[in-house]
Structure 1
Amino acid sequence: MNNSMLYLRHAELLRDKVPSFHDYPFNLPVVRTLERLVFEQQVTFLVGENGTGKSTLLEGVAAAWGFNPEGGTLNFSFNTKSSHSGLYEFFRIARGVKRPRDGFFLRAESYYNVASYIDQLDAEPNDDSPRIKDSYGGKSLHEQSHGESFFATFLHRFGGRGLYILDEPEAALSPLRQMSLLVRMHELVQQHSQFIIATHSPILMSYPGAEIFLVEGESIRSVALEETEHYTVTKAFMNNRESMLHELLGEE
C-alpha cells in the first residue's frame, strides 16, 4: 500500500470553529497549536509522557472517523459514561481513495465496557444472527484474562483491509505477547491495513517502517525509535540496572 492508498490521510483541526482555546480539550498545549496531523505510513505511533494529550488526539481522530468514543467497531453505539471530549467535532478527516473493509477502535481503559456490550447483544434473542463473540474467538471476553481478551480481538476480530486505532494496546500484554502483537500487525499490514497507535511500548514502536510522532508540549514531531525516552530509559535501566536502582532508591 503506497501513501495514496491509505484509508486515513490526515486529520485537520478546524481552528476557526473552536469556540475557545481556554477550555478543555483545546487548552491542551498540543491541541492549542495543532493544525494538521498527517499520516504517511501504514503504521503510525503517537508517543509521549502521560498527560501530553496523545490519547485525547487519538480519541478525537477515531470519533471523527465514526467510531464509538468508548471503542469497538463502527456499529457499536453504547455509552457507559460520557467522558470523551468534543474534539472530534472540530476535526476534518481526509479519507483515502479506497475505503476499509474492517475497522476497530481499541481503548485499554474502556475495553471492559466493550466486552460487556458484546455480551449484552449476544444475550438478546435473535435466531437469525450469529453471536458477536464468535468473531472474537467464540468465548466471552469476560471469561478470559485481560491480556487474553485483548489478544483474542487482535487475532480473531481484526480481519485485514482495515483501519485499526489502538490506545495503549500493550496495557494488558506481557512482553512476549507484545512481540506476538507485532507479528499479528505485520500480517494485517500485508493485508492492506492501517494502524494508528498511542503507546508507551518500545517493543511495539520497533515495527519496521513505522512513523513515530512524539507529542511533547506544544509540538508533534517525527522521531526515530532511538530518540524516544521510552527506548533510552528502558535501555539504560536494563544495561545498568544495579547503578540505576542505587540512584533511584538511594541505597548504600
Structure 2
Amino acid sequence: MLIERAYVDRSEEAVARTGDRWPWTVPCVRRLAEDGLKFGAPVTFLVGENGSGKSTLAEALAEGFGLDSYGGSAGYKYASSRTPSELGCAIRFDPTAAGRRMVRGPRTRRRGFFLRAETAWDALARERLSGAPEMMSHGEGFLMAFREKFRQPGLYVLDEPEAALSFTSCLELVGVLAELSRGGAQIICATHSPLLTALPGAEIVEVGEHGMRSVAWEELGLVDHWRRYLTDPRAYLRHIIG
C-alpha cells in the first residue's frame, strides 16, 4: 500500500466548513472533509447509487495524487484544457513507508493510472500501447490497458471499469487487480459491480446520504438486488413494464 488515509487540507477548505456549494454539499465529500478516509487494504471499492458522489470522490483522489482527471498515467498530461477541481486541489495523503517517496516527492516520482469510463477510449488511444485501440472493441481496449499499464507499484484509480466488460472480462480484471495489489500497488475503484467487489481481502466503502461507511460484501444493497433479480426477474419487472 502507498496511502493510509486521504483528507482535505483545512487551509484550503473554508468552503467545506460552510457546506453551501457543490461538491462540499455531497455527503461523502462532507464526511471526507470532516473525518478523512482511511484505507485498510490494498484494494478499496467505492460503491453507491448514481449521484451518490463516488465518482466525484474517485476523481478527486486521482487528482490529489497527481493523476490527470481526464484519465491516463501519472505525469502524462495531455488534457491541458482540464484544470484540477477544487476538491482535488485540497486532497492530501498520509503515506505508508512505501508510498512516502511518491506522495511527498516530485510529481515525476509518482506512478499509477486513472481510468474513467467516459474518456477511457481516448486516453488509451493517446498513450503508447503495443496494440491499436482503434481496431479493438471497448472491452478489448480496456483489458489491453489493464495488462500493459497495470504492472508496477503505484496508485490505480478506476471509475466504473466494468462499463465495457463482459462477465468473463470482469473476472479477468479481478485477477489483474489481485496480482497488482500483491505487487505493492494500491487500487481505488468506484463501481456498481457485485462481481468486482467480491475480490477477497478488498475493503468496500459504501457512499450515500449517510456519507461513507465500510460494509461487508454480503451486506451491500447491490448484491442483494442482483441476487433477488436473478432469482426472479419478474418480481422487479412487473413494477416497470406492468
| Fold in common (TM above 0.5) | yes
> Contact 2:31 / 2:212 at 8 angstroms: preserved in 1?
no
Aligned match of 1:73: 73
Question: Bigger CA drift: 97-106 or 55-64?
Answer: 97-106
* Counterpart code for 2:139: G
Moved over 6 A (4+): none
Name the residue aligned to 2:12.
17
Q: 1:19 offset after TM fit, Å?
A: 3.5
3-state SS, counterpart of residue 232 of structure 1: helix
Cα distance in 2 for partners of 1:81, 1:170 equals: 27
Residue 38 (structure 1) aligns with: 38
**TM superposition shift of 1:113:** 2.8
Residue 247 of structure 1 deviates from its aligned partner by 3.5
In 1, Cα distance between equivalents of 2:119 and 2:137: 15
Matches within 5 A, 1:50-129: 50-79=50-79, 82=82, 85-99=85-99, 102-118=111-127
Aligned residues: 228
Q: Deviations over 1:153-209 (max 9, x none)?
A: 111221132321111110100111101111121222222222111000000000001
Aligned to 2:177: 185
Change over 3 Å in CA distance of 1:83–1:51 after alignment to 2: farther
Q: Map of 1:132-211 to 2, 5 A cutoff? A: 132-133=128-129, 138-211=130-203
Unaligned runs of 5+ in 1: 1-5, 119-131
Q: CA deviation at 1:50?
A: 0.6
Residues 56 and 85 in structure 1, CA contact (< 8 A), matched pair in contact too: no
Deviations 1:39-95 (A, max 9, x none): 010111000001111111111111111111111111211226538632011112112
Q: Distance in 2 between matches of 1:81 and 1:140?
A: 25
What is the DSSP-based 3-state SS (H/G/I as helix, E as strand, rest coil) of the residue aligned with 2:118?
A: helix
Match of residue 29 from structure 1: 27
Q: Which moved more, 1:96-105 or 1:219-228?
A: 96-105
Following the alignment from structure 2 to structure 1, what is the Cα–Cα distance between the partners of residues 94 and 80? 29
Amino acid aligned to 1:152:
M
Paired amino acid for 2:52: T
Q: Tell me, what secondary structure is at the counterpart of 1:202?
A: coil
The amino acid of 2:185's aligned partner reads S
Provide the secondary structure at the position in 1 that maps to 2:50.
coil
Residues of 2 paired with 1:51 and 1:85: CA distance?
A: 17
Residues 188, 110 of structure 1: CA spacing in aligned structure 2 closer, same or farther, 3 A cutoff?
Answer: same
Letter in 2 for 1:77: K
Contact map agreement 1:30 1:220 (CA 8 A) in 2: yes
Cα distance in 1 for residues equivalent to 2:175 and 2:154: 16
Q: Flag structure 2 segments of 5+ consecutive residues without an equivalent.
A: 103-109
For residue 244 of structure 1, the aligned residue among 225, 236, 240 is 236
Offset of 1:15 from its aligned partner?
A: 4.0
What is the TM-score with the length of structure 2 in the denominator? Answer: 0.87
TM-score (structure 1 length as normaliser): 0.84
Identity among equivalent positions (%) equals 36
Q: Within 1, Cα distance between the matches of 2:156 and 2:10?
A: 26
Between 162-171 and 78-87, report the one with greater CA deviation: 78-87
Alpha carbons of structure 1 residues 103 and 229: separation in structure 2 relative to 1, 3 Å: same
Aligned Cα RMSD in Å? 1.9
Cα distance between partner residues in 1 of 2:5 and 2:122: 29
